[in-house]
Amino acid sequence: MVLSAYLKKIVEDTIQKHSQELRTISLEIHDHPEQGNQEFIAFKLLTEYMEKHGFKVTRGVVGLETAFIAEYSNGKNGRRIGFCSEYDALPNIGHGCGHNLIAVQGVACALAVKTLLEKNLISGSVTLFGTPAEESTCSKITLVKENVVQDRVDFAMMLHPSAVDAVFSKTLALDQVVIEFFGKASHAGASPWEGINALDALMQGFDNVAMLRQQTLPTNRIHGIIKHGGNSANVIPDHASAHFFVRALTRTELSNLKSKLENCFKAAAIATGCTVKFTWAPQGQIDDLFNNEIFGLRYIEYMKEKGVDIPLTIPEDAGVMASTDMGNISYAVPSLHPIYSIGSKAFNHTAEFTAAAGTLVAHEKAMTSAVCLAMTAVDASLDSAFFEQAVESFKKGKQHNEVFIDWVQKIHFENKVDGKGKLITFCYLHTLFY
């Protein structure tokens, strides 16, 4: 069931009614960029606005100072709808990932659903999750670990600005680790044989990783830097450290890759006589994102009504592979995370994208996609058959992530010729930016 014209109008009118106020909030966040867990201006703007509009707001959720939950229920049994807002900025370039837009899109969707709940046109509740630090400590991981999401909503949705419009994006699972070697210092000229060289061990580990890459899947990523290699060239280093990111197509494959990475450095420790220590990200790993295809296809329908044609897949050269903590929510409840063009060819995490994220064009496109996302959520609330299809798809995808991949490959993995005669290979992989 696609929404009636009456319900669509309420959703659209509600978001349009608040659009100018939301633009003001978006620009305040854009012009005062704050890095992860320090988003105090954005946090205040968003929580006060939600309270002003009748939501029950809980601040400092699960010990995260700038996380919040804004909830509204009409007291009737029904679907529990969830949306997410992000509002952290990047070092040096500010809102180069457009989180100022994500912040107000979540608010817009929540307000639209609340209006329908108030009119008793749907039953249940709506929750907006304020999720700080997507670019760093990834608060959604903690919200899922603490069952904050699963205990409150039946499904979750959010939007992300980009250079293109797409729905079935696939981001990589990610974890990061600090690797430390401990050896024994000695004079590098007088008695090097007395030393145990921690830097040699670290460099051997890097060499092992370089050889490992040939035997890993093309979708895997291993990248690292040396953090510390000693204090003096005249002393055998007794301590050396590196920082690595590890990415894979699924969280299962990520676990395998992490073990192989550790073995590379354990072997180096044995070879050099050092000891090695691994410190993985304390919050846990970022899971790969798998968008719910049932929700996604409906969102595409609504965007098409707005004059935006979204391909079911995207060119494999449309971006680089990256990660988002929305992946963790996508394993907790059925989820949708479309990306949308803000009218600029600039890629995320650039100064050019920062500038584009503050334009009126970007705001208008953000509000259009928010209307379509809210409509999709309302469909899931009203149409039980539609929602059950989405749940079934979620269960299959969670147990066998390949089901999603096979579905896309079988129908859409193909070569096509565009209007200019250029051959384009379409692929199920795409990116967000972390």
Pairing of the two strands 339-341 and 160-162: parallel
Beta-bridge mates of residue 221: 247
CA 276 to chain centre: 31
- In this prediction, residue 313 carries a pLDDT of 66
User: CA-CA distances (angstroms) from residue 112 to 86, 302, 374?
Assistant: 18, 15, 7
- In this prediction, residue 83 carries a pLDDT of 99
Cβ atoms of 242 and 178 closer than 8 Å: yes
Pairing of the two strands 155-157 and 79-85: parallel
Nearest CA to 158 out of 373, 379, 434 is that of 373
Cβ atoms of 34 and 89 closer than 8 Å: yes
Crossing angle of helices 384-399 and 402-412, in 10° steps, is 110
Dihedral Cα 335, 19, 344, 347, nearest 10 deg: -40
Residues of the chain with pLDDT under 50: 317-320, 402-417, 422-434
34 three-state secondary structure: coil
- In this prediction, residue 170 carries a pLDDT of 79
Residue 14 tokens read as 């509600």
pTM equals: 0.88
Q: What is the Cα–Cα distance from 343 to 351, expressed in whole angstroms?
A: 15
- In this prediction, residue 321 carries a pLDDT of 65
DSSP 292-330: -HHHHHHHHHHHHHTT----SSEETTS------THHHHH
280-300 pLDDT tens trace: 999 999 999 989 999 999 999
Q: What is the Cα–Cα distance from 237 to 198, expressed in whole angstroms?
A: 6
295-354 pLDDT tens trace: 999 999 999 999 999 987 655 544 446 799 999 999 999 999 999 999 999 999 999 999
Give every CB contact of residue 55 below 8 A, 6+ residues apart in sequence: 70, 71, 72, 110, 114, 128
Nearest CA to 368 out of 15, 50, 112 is that of 15
DSSP 216-277: S-TT-EEEEEEEE--S-TTB--SEEEEEEEEEESSHHHHHHHHHHHHHHHHHHHHHHT-EEE
248-260 pLDDT tens trace: 999 999 999 999 9
- In this prediction, residue 431 carries a pLDDT of 36
In the chain, where the domains are located: 5-171+288-415, 173-280
When the candidates are 3.40.50.1470, 3.40.50.720, 3.60.15.10, 3.40.630.10, the CATH number that belongs to 5-171+288-415 is 3.40.630.10
DSSP 8-class letter at 286: B
Crossing angle of helices 360-382 and 293-305, in 10° steps, is 130
Question: How many CB atoms are closer than 10 A to CB 346?
Answer: 18
- CATH 3.30.200.20, applies to 173-280: no
- Whose tokens are 């991981």? That residue is 141
Nearest CA to 334 out of 275, 411, 387, 263 is that of 387
Q: Cα-flanking dihedrals φ and ψ of residue 63, to 5°?
A: 75, 5
The amino acid sitting at 357 is A
Q: What is the Cα–Cα distance from 103 to 46, expressed in whole angstroms?
A: 8
Q: What is the Cα–Cα distance from 199 to 391, expressed in whole angstroms?
A: 51
